[in-house]
Chains A and B, each alone.
Chain A
Amino acid sequence: MHILVVIKQVPDLVEELEINSDGTALDPDCISPTLNEFDDHALEEALLLKEAVGAQVTVLGIDATGELDQALYTAMAKGADRAKKIVGDFDEETHLSSHARARLLAEAIKPIGYDFVFVGVQAVDDLDGQVAPMLATHLGVPHVGVVTAVHPINGVVSIQKEYWAGIMAEMDVTPPAVLGIQAARQSPRYAPVSKVRQISKEATIEEIEAGEVDERLVVPVRRMYLPESSGRAEFIEGEPGEVADAILNLLRERGIK
């Protein structure tokens, strides 16, 4: 079994976000890239299959920021067999849409043989939708998203897909297929820094030239803004003791405590 894991970097939400001067996108200068957390789960699920049934795992990403290497080396340090990156003349000011990403990925993936492509179910910047179903469309293979477990049985995989209110579905998927991974069966593993460093010296990342960036289906953003996050909350200030008193007062006033 060969699993391709697609990873991408997204703005770290721990950092303060700022909007660019024309008010239509994030200010690229305030973005610090971090791996999409659901892609980390996609990689983990693939590595679990490597351990269980000897799956080959290739990680692949679009190097839109020139900063993807570290994430690819980290994936290899965790156990991925190979890494590839799609390189091209990407404009740093322009956010690559999901549609554009899906097309670039499909072109790169078509010549590579695979049984499954695992992609994080969503990313925080998926304004125009999730990449996995679009990628599956370009590849002409089926897709299932919100997947939380993948078990190979007799040439198919049995997957669990989360619905809502704790309800899940079990489905069988015949490869080749694209799966949008919500969560791996266990927390994503860590790679020791020393190992990542060693891999980055020894391993090579294969480069794939990007095709045309297709912005056909980009939805024009008229205005991007930070909502008043404090729109509703009344803030309680003071030392922890004072805060605790204020909270307990609120509860007593309302007969909760």
Chain B
Amino acid sequence: MAQDIFVIAEHLKGSLTEGTFEILGAARTLAGTTGGSVVGVVLGQGVEPLAGQMVAADRVLVANDAALADFTPEAYLAVLEPLIRQHQPRLTMLLNTSFGMDLAAALSERLSLPLVAYCKKLETENGAVVATSQIYGGKVNAECVLEGPGIVSVLTGSFPADAGRAGSAPAIETVPLPASLNGRKVQFKTLIEPEVGDVDITRSDIIVAVGRGIQSQDNIGTAEELAQALGGVVASSRPVTDAGWLPRSRQVGKSGMSVKPRLYLALGISGAPEHLEGMKDAGLIIAVNTDPNAPIFGVAHYGVVADLFDVTESLIEKL
């Protein structure tokens, strides 16, 4: 086993994602104690310029092919599996995103390497990697020990991206590809851009966000009333848009929008990691939840353990 740390890059529409820099930075820190190199891995077509941007890596392995132009789990795995098998890194880092979730668990089985998913903290201890995973909707942390080679899939936003942007031009190496990447069972067709909504929640300074605690579509009006009185807009967690109570464009979180308003008033939102990803950097977070153990209180500046309807009505009355 080498001591190297592999960082599997993510890119979309010609740019590396913020998360890629986050895990690159985390890898750099880990490599400081494990002693290996940080090796970036970029799959795609014409991606050498992206490889060159992975300056926190010592080296970047590039797989270039038309069949890799757009992400599909099948083609990506066909390249990554033999690559990791051959290089035997100490740790392979991916992001727990729509890409990484498809890859990490499959690589774990294919390569018989243990995986710690939903990882938000990484340390080394006497040569072992200690990965802290956030599970049960953010209510529980689990410290896992990887004595030997393993894989982690990291929650976006867990490490500062700046650390991944520091360094100098890495050595770039093109890797040979498996015999055929064509004739695959999964074919990428097209990207679908989000529908433009009636309001752009990313531009609002004041957001009243409602979660499943709002209970029904009929109650959305109350939140609208409060948002209007405050001069802001209504946004929501995923179950509210899944139910069709609000348009998709109002969803905050992992698959929705990332927002950074001056005020984020979270009503009846538990604070699952996928939601926090989209709002934890808001200037002032006030959360109202009946559950004193709701993880939202872990990121909120102010918390109210109460029924959201009582608080909302009082606020509307006083405004």
Interface positions of A (Cβ within 8 A of B): 11, 13-14, 16-17, 19, 26, 41, 98-99, 102, 121-122, 124-134, 136-138, 141-146, 158, 160-174, 177, 180, 182-183, 186-187, 216-236, 240-241, 243-245, 247-248, 250-251, 254, 256-257
Contacts and interface: CB of A to CB of B under 8 A. Distances in A.
B87 interface: no
B287 A233 contact: yes
Contacts of A142: 73-74, 184-186
B97 to A, nearest CB: 7
Of listed B283, B287, B311, residue having the most chain A CB within 10 A? B311
Contact of A145 (B101, B145, B295): B101
Given A133-B102, A240-B314, A127 B188 contact: no
B135 A232 contact: no
Contacts of B67: none
B73 A143 contact: yes
Contact of B153 (A129, A174, A228, A232): A129
B114 to A, nearest CB: 5
Contacts of B69: none
A169 B192 contact: yes
Given A133-B102, A134-B106, A232-B298, A13 B136 contact: yes
Given A13-B139, A183-B242, A232 B297 contact: yes
A220 B190 contact: no
Of listed B74, B106, B265, B298, residue having the most chain A CB within 10 A? B106
Nearest to B115: A129
Contact of B297 (A17, A230, A254): A230
A187 B243 contact: yes
Contact of B140 (A226, A231, A243): A226
A244 B186 contact: no
Interface residues of B, number: 100
Given A130-B101, A143-B73, 9 more contacts: A11-B136, A99-B109, A144-B186, A164-B254, A166-B193, A216-B112, A222-B144, A224-B141, A232-B301
Interface string B279-319: 00001101100011111011111111110001101110111
Contact of B71 (A169, A217, A248): A169
Nearest to B280: A232
Contact of A229 (B139, B143, B238, B258): B139
12 contacts: A129-B104, A134-B105, A143-B73, A146-B102, A164-B254, A167-B193, A169-B192, A177-B186, A222-B144, A229-B139, A236-B302, A241-B318
B108 A244 contact: no
Contacts of A126: 117-118, 135
Contacts of A235: 297, 302-305
Given A13-B136, A136-B106, A171 B186 contact: yes
Of listed B113, B136, B244, B311, residue having the most chain A CB within 10 A? B136
Interface in B74-99: 74, 97-99
B2 interface: no
B133 interface: yes
Given A235-B303, A243-B304, A127 B144 contact: yes
Contacts of B297: 229-233, 235
B194 interface: yes
A257 B143 CA distance: 42
A146 B314 CA distance: 39
B150 A219 contact: yes
Contacts of B294: 229
B315 A244 contact: yes
Contact of A124 (B73, B135, B306): B135
Contacts of A136: 106
Contacts of A233: 287, 297-298, 300-303
Question: Closest 7 interchain pairs by CB?
Answer: A166-B194, A233-B303, A129-B105, A244-B314, A133-B106, A240-B310, A137-B109
B256 interface: yes
Of listed A17, A142, A173, A233, residue having the most chain B CB within 10 A? A233
B16 interface: no
Given A166-B249, A240-B313, A219 B187 contact: no
Given A137-B110, A163-B255, A171 B284 contact: no
B298 A230 contact: yes
B192 A17 contact: no
A218 B108 CA distance: 11
A229 B295 contact: yes
Contacts of B248: 166
B191 A219 contact: no
B72 A168 contact: no
B249 A167 contact: no
Contacts of B116: 127-128, 219
A256 B206 contact: yes
Contacts of A223: 142-143
